[in-house]
Chain A
Amino acid sequence: MASSCSRTCLQYLLHLAHDNLDFRLPSPFWCLNSLTEEDVRSVMARSVCAKSAFELWGRGRTHSELRTSLLNYSPEKMSPYVHKESTYRINVYTFNKTLLFADRIKKIDALEYLPFEGTVSLKSPQHIFCLLEDYGTDPNNIPEHPNYVYFGRWIADGQRELIRSHSVKSRHFIGNTSMDAGLSFIMTNHAKVKENDLVFDPFVGTGSLLVACSHFGAYVCGTDIDYNTIHGKGRSSRKNQKWRGPDENIRANLRQYGTQKMYVDVMVSDASKPVWRNAALFDAIITDPPYGIRESTRKTGSHKDIAKAPDGSYADSHVPVSQAYNLSDIFADLLHFSAQHLVVGGRLVYWLPVYRPEYCEEMIPHHACLQLVSNCEQTLSSHTSRRLITMEKIKEPKELDGLAGAPDPRCSPYHGHNAFREKYFSGLNKRSSKEDTRADVDGK
């Protein structure tokens, strides 16, 4: 940023929610420089991980340091918000500590050195300020005094309400492995999905990821090998319901949230045998491939001879037989597909199941046309996790020499993870039922 923005480039404080801790730095408080208020607002318009953002006026390890810091903050920068005609309120937020109401009031009173000339309005203030106190991250060892304190002007809240409003619990159509709302929106952000993008999910299931993408204005399409899921038929995943109802399908899910106009199409299709013409069609590919635990991994094809009529035709009722789709092939195919069909600069975001005792970074599947952007771990159990992988297409496959871009499963370091399914189950058998208290709710 140019130095001329030193007047407009202030310090900002993001207060992050205390979940998905592996996806970020340890502290829920994050100070940022070199941003404008507009930048901060656009981040908050998308983030489901950030609770609130503040224009940082002062900070310190003690209240005394905070006071010094605040008295050093330029009065010119304060004046639009503290003048006689303004109305305001001050909130107190304490991380990892509960505070009595009386103590909150005391802390606000202790800030009387600030040059507020306006009137306090608790119900509808023009400006909201916040004193934030950080009491560390150990709930069993809460200090008497905060480790750090901040004071700032509230700018915006994040989109955490989406986690509640789009909760899978109240969604019309779900499956056994529907992605929860928070993670769906995180994936949408990793993929930088924006208005008027075209997004594709090759393992679409019940469309949870498409729901999140459509919320930010993208047009969405998907495929799945499972006929019943795509058509919204078959057994329900809900406890009290045996069969799926007539309004349970992906289109209905989009309609539930008012984004039906973003629905392009879903199809029954085998992701290992893509049906798209050779062109850069999609702005983003976002998906959660099956890991072979709660959903089977399969593709069309058979090792057996299938009975056919003498004229070589199949009976009308023939359902193509499927064979196991090796995990390492799933990811090799996915990367190859993304290299072909993403626009340059477009992103692939997917979950990679990992057997933790044998994990190393070299295992992340790679492709010459795709650059790794991030790798975030979500632990599922002591020996399994899944990693949210984000990749960006940096060049077209035709720019590579020969077959350099083609998937080469022989030297894929992920090859050993074909055994993920076996290792997952053998791990469960070895441990006693008492040991593993960490719920495998998202384990596949």
Chain B
Amino acid sequence: MKLLTHNMLTSHVKGVTKGYPLLIKATEVKVNDVDFNPQFVCRMIPKLEWSALVEAADLLGHRQDLPSELVPDYEKNEDFLKKVHRALLEVEVIEGCLQCPESGREFPISRGIPNMLLNEDEV
């Protein structure tokens, strides 16, 4: 699971109102080499919850001085965009789980793939 995806996921456990962001508990993390594409990063930044991204990257030990607030005029700042690119697309949680911050319910991640299915009585 990449942090771009994590940034968009929320807990859908019944009755939960504060299900975002999901807490990441990672037992295996990988960093891949993904081609840097500044245009894509620029398109994604406005869609992100910035603090959730920084928190998640920090938790995984891959914050790499991402600032706690978005820098202005980031479109031209290649250094900044490269850091965002790395956090969004290169850091990958392979094993672990995502935890609902309100209910504590855990969603396992195995082989990089989160399993978000709820059980029968949770729906």
In the bound complex, residues from chain A placing their C-beta under 8 Å from that of B12 are 273-275
CB neighbours of A196 from chain B (8 A): 37, 39-40, 43
Asked if B113 contacts A320 (CB within 8 A), the reply is no
* B118 interface hit (Cβ, 8 Å): yes
Whether the pair B117, A231 counts as a contact (CB closer than 8 A) is: no
Question: Is residue B45 within 8 Å, beta carbon to beta carbon, of the partner chain?
Answer: no
Chain A hits for B49, CB < 8 A: 277
Which residues of B come within 8 Å of A, CB atoms?
1-2, 4-5, 8-12, 20, 34-35, 37, 39-40, 43-44, 47, 49, 89, 110-121, 123
Q: Is A306 part of the contact surface with B, judged by Cβ < 8 Å? A: yes
**Would B37 and A269 count as touching, CB distance under 8 A?**
no
Residue in contact with A268 in the complex, picked from B9, B10, B113, CB distance below 8 Å:
B113
- B38's closest neighbor in chain A, by CB? A196
Question: Which residues of B have CB within 8 Å of A321?
Answer: 120
B114 to chain A, nearest CB (A): 5
Complex contact B2–A264 (CB within 8 A)? yes
Find out whether the CB atom of A275 lies under 8 angstroms from the CB atom of B120: no
Asked if A306 contacts B118 (CB within 8 A), the reply is no
Contacts of A318 in B (CB 8 A): 119
**B87 to A: closest C-beta gap in Å:** 14
A300–B44 contact, CB under 8 A?
A: no
Would A320 and B116 be within 8 Å (CB), given that A261-B34, A264-B5 are in contact? no
**Residues of A with C-beta under 8 A to B111:** 231
Which residues does chain B contribute within 8 Å of A267, judged by CB atoms?
1, 5, 113-116
Are B115's CB and A268's CB within 8 A?
yes
Name which residue of chain A comes closest to B14, CB basis: A273
Nearest chain A CB to B97 CB, angstrom units: 13
Q: Which residue of B lies closest to A266 (CB)?
A: B113
What chain B residues lie within 8 Å of A198 (beta carbons)? 43-44, 47
User: A279 near B8 (CB under 8 angstroms)?
Assistant: yes
> Which of A195, A261, A320 contacts B120 (CB under 8 A)?
A320
> What B residues does A264 contact at CB under 8 A?
2, 4-5, 89
Q: What are 23 residue pairs bridging A and B, where the CB atoms are less than 8 Å apart in the complex? A: A196-B43, A198-B44, A198-B47, A227-B115, A231-B111, A261-B34, A264-B2, A264-B4, A265-B5, A265-B112, A265-B113, A266-B113, A267-B114, A268-B114, A268-B116, A269-B117, A273-B123, A278-B10, A280-B47, A300-B120, A300-B123, A302-B120, A308-B121
Classify the secondary structure of A's interface with B: loop
Most buried by A among B1, B20, B118, B119: B119
Q: Determine if B2 and A265 form an interchain contact, defined as CB atoms under 8 angstroms apart.
A: yes
Complex alpha-carbon distance, A274 and B117, angstroms? 10
Bound: A166/B116 CA distance, A? 31
Q: Report B-chain residues with C-beta under 8 Å of the C-beta of A306.
A: 119-121
Write out the residue numbers on chain A whose beta carbons fall within 8 Å of the beta carbon of B123: 273, 300-301
Shortest distance from the beta carbon of A159 to any chain B beta carbon, whole Å: 22
How many residues of A sit at the interface, in one of the four size bands? 35 or more
- B4, B5, B35, B117: which contacts A225 (Cβ < 8 A)? B117
Interfacial chain A residues near B37, Cβ < 8 Å: 196
In the complex, A113 has a CB within 8 A of chain B: no
Which residues between 255 and 288 of chain A lie within 8 Å of chain B, taking CB atoms?
Answer: 261, 264-270, 273-281
- How far, in whole Å, are A266 and B114 apart by their CA atoms in the complex? 8
Counting from the closest, the 4 A-B pairs by CB-CB distance are A302-B120, A265-B5, A269-B116, A277-B10
> Which chain A residue lies CB-closest to B33?
A261
B8 to chain A, nearest CB (A): 5
Q: What B residues does A308 contact at CB under 8 A?
A: 121
* Nearest chain B residue, comparing its CB with the CB of A225: B117
A230 contacts partner chain B, Cβ-Cβ < 8 Å? yes
Cα(A219)–Cα(B43), bound, Å: 11
State whether the Cβ of A221 lies closer than 8 Å to any Cβ in chain B: yes
Q: How far is the CA of A321 from the CA of B2 in the complex (A)?
A: 28
Indicate if A314 sits at the interface (CB-CB under 8 A). Answer: yes
Closest B residue to A306 by beta carbon equals B120
**A219 to B9 CA separation, bound complex (whole angstroms):** 17
Docked-complex contact A230 and B113, CB < 8 angstroms:
yes
Q: Are B118 and A270 in contact (CB under 8 A)?
A: yes
- Give the contacting residue for B117; candidates A265, A277, A320; CB below 8 A: A320
Partner of B9, one of A225, A277, A314, A320: A277
Complexed CA–CA distance, A314 and B39 (Å): 45
Most buried by B among A265, A269, A308, A321: A265
- In the bound complex, residues from chain B placing their C-beta under 8 Å from that of A227 are 115
For A260, the closest partner residue in chain B by CB is B34
A203 to chain B, nearest CB (A): 15
Docked CA distance A267–B111 (Å): 11
Are A276 and B10 neighbours in the complex by a CB distance under 8 Å?
Answer: yes
Given A264-B2, A300-B123; A275-B116 close (CB under 8 Å) = yes
